[in-house]
Amino acid sequence: MKPLTLDRRKLLGRALALGALTPLAGCDFDNLRHPDLADEFLRLMSGWNNEVQAALFDPNTLAPTFKPSQITRPPRFNAFYGIDRAPQVDPATWRLNLTGRIGNKQPWRLAQLRAMTQESQITRLICVEGWRVVGQWGGVRLGDFLRRINADLKARYVSFQCADGYFESIDMASALQPQTILALDFLGAPLTAPFGAPVRLRIPTKLGYKNAKSIVALGVTNQFPSGYWEKQGYNWFGGS
């Protein structure tokens, strides 16, 4: 991990100071019982958590990789719906629509993604519920794709819209981390519907809910896009 810069030290100091003050704020039990104040307090703490995680994140630090013998079999399905409701997207007609701070917004076809240099990884997906699995993924580095479409790499966020109504976003530094890929293959074969066909995000430095499946649109923006579970109280940065 890189040495903390002065700004990052200040941020951590402020976060620790806020943590030290928390018990004092907690002494006013009547106020904390008020739902609006409790929600505001949790929102502020979640914001600090995001800032601290972002300050500590090093895009040059790789997530652990594993041997083929360590791959979880059978693979585990997970979504906010049952496996029978996984969206069936026709790869022949699928298009990736592009929005925001992107120089070339021409929609992409699956064949174009497969024509790019492909990366393979055996990494671990960690669910916020506590379980973890190891899988083999193949696809295109998201950073390579963003450069190909002339995206603004100084923008703050990359967002994703999915065929099942799911939506998610990540910070640009995480998008450019070399293990972050637009996955096309799983366990050596094209993705199937339950695992995010035809294209999903695979980002081993973040928790499972950040790994958007069946992506149909990608955006680059400076406006905070949030995410499906973040709207329901999950932490946004979602580092694993």
Q: What letter does residue 147 receive in the DSSP assignment?
A: H
Q: What per-residue string of b and e applies to 90-118 under the rule 16 or more CB within 10 Å gives b? A: eeeebebebebbbeeeeebebeebeebee
| pLDDT given at position 50 | 56
Give, to the nearest 10 degrees, the angle between helix 6-26 and helix 35-56.
160
pTM of the model: 0.79
| pLDDT given at position 119 | 97
| pLDDT given at position 203 | 98
| pLDDT given at position 124 | 97
Strand, helix or coil for residue 25: helix
| pLDDT given at position 176 | 98
Distances (CA, A) of 91 to 166, 202, 214, 225: 19, 19, 10, 27
| pLDDT < 70 positions in the chain | 1-57, 59
| pLDDT given at position 128 | 93
Tell me which residue of 105, 147, 152, 134 sits closest to 202, measured CA to CA. Answer: 134
Q: How many CB atoms lie within 10 A of CB 29?
A: 7
48 Cβ neighbours under 8 A, 6+ residues apart:
14, 15, 18
